Structure 1
């Protein structure tokens, strides 16, 4: 096992250096003043601290070296990103192809598994980049990783757990492409912001094979053949249609409601969120449309009862894959904080209902 002071090389990527500190299963490897966070299991020991010290001592006794003040800048330099191995360029590598991927460490137990985050740089260019995230309720972004990735390589960014996902409703990457030792065609700086459907991390079928990975992953194409991932752009006519459609959904009389979703049992309100209780037919509706309709119904009931302190509301969501329940818990943890939340009576509803007390 590698330890602080060991000189190591990276198992699955080019580069290496001396381990300066270890936090959990992450080693921070110093290469010319630039620390690279790397999984401990990806570090291969080249020399122990004793061997390194002897080598330095021998060099100092036999040769009068040129004194070089070490850099204390936290900014990565092109020299820190390069290695002794030559970069093998390919014609297709002149176009940027960048992929962000999340790989589960235990795909058979997604509810408890952690996930490794990787950035794949399939090009002849070095990339300065930052990887950021924020929740829908946050006003600002959090930097999760900043550094340089070499050409034609993937870099490990971080390991995340299920508890980290609520803060990752949206992710962003900023990138600048360059070559350090030759002329190159200038690429425009790239800044991508996109939504991350965190419910996919708990669905087995959302992890798929990818040419860059041996295991199944959730992959997001950030840049494809020099074309960055684009946000959807709506013209004025599309925006007007969208507003009208939203108003139609928000207007109860306009919905094709099959029957009343709420019922009372004593002082308790029961709300059935099964989609067949909300609409006559789901023809033409995507899974996202269905989920949004269910969340709208949940919000309508919550908003109508926020002033009724002590009111008990049972939301019947069913067991299924747990997508709707996860969405409700997210709403209760962020939009409707401070209310008592518990599983509803198993005897009455099984595992498929959640009780909220205002």
Structure 2
């Protein structure tokens, strides 16, 4: 059971932080100075209080180690709490993996930095390496090595224009597996492809993508279990690349998000984005905007309280999580007793909450 001081992540939603206080079955989780009330049973401990206080900084010159993925049996044997298995979908049985480059400031491509992400849209864990080399280089350089969880996009590194000359070619090697259940074995993947680095300075080369809110340069690594292009593996060169790696370690992970593509007729959808509620926000403070959104939420809830079984999806967006936290507070106090869960991420992304009356 989680306790005060533990670092946790939320079981059924994005985010997490350090538990500052516990009242009954509600934990107040500090995420960058904002306390989010969350059901205690939905907090998964990732670091106990003592470890949080004595956390030791990792050196930046070492290859990022792959986190351990323990089986339920090993969790029982050590006495530690087992992390619940990820929710699976029929579509997730096929691997879909994308490498993406997202500019920090798309209006200033000559000076901006770029965030590099690997998207794992599948039910499988992926043990992978991400490598690059210049055309004239003799060997590869490992830029990231580790494990990415199912339905997660993981931040790999931040690059600048000065890094691009060493990235004429990119390669991704992967082994897919599940740690807690039987699964179909996937063939190991080793994909190598050219990266036209001149595109990073051309606005029209950045395009929308179902996994990102901003325009990106995306490279499909695996599509429906089919790798983009298999590479001929030279193990000696890969070993040289591993030894020469210069790590850039910023452990930032976020769940895979796809833009909504379908709607269900039996569900009431309520978009709480302020642009959907008022014509202009001129003169409104952040507190005024939040009050308008909460008023709309209450109006919809009050008008449906007699409709047992009615499903309502409140679209609040990801943002900083302030609106979602306010909705959860309402549902935990003013509107107790209703079933609350994250709305389908394949239909709404991770910016919506479903309430069943």
Instruction: Give the TM-score category using the shorter length.
Output: 0.3 to 0.5
The TM-score with structure 1 as length reference comes to 0.46
Structure showing greater Rg: 1
The TM-score with structure 2 as length reference comes to 0.46
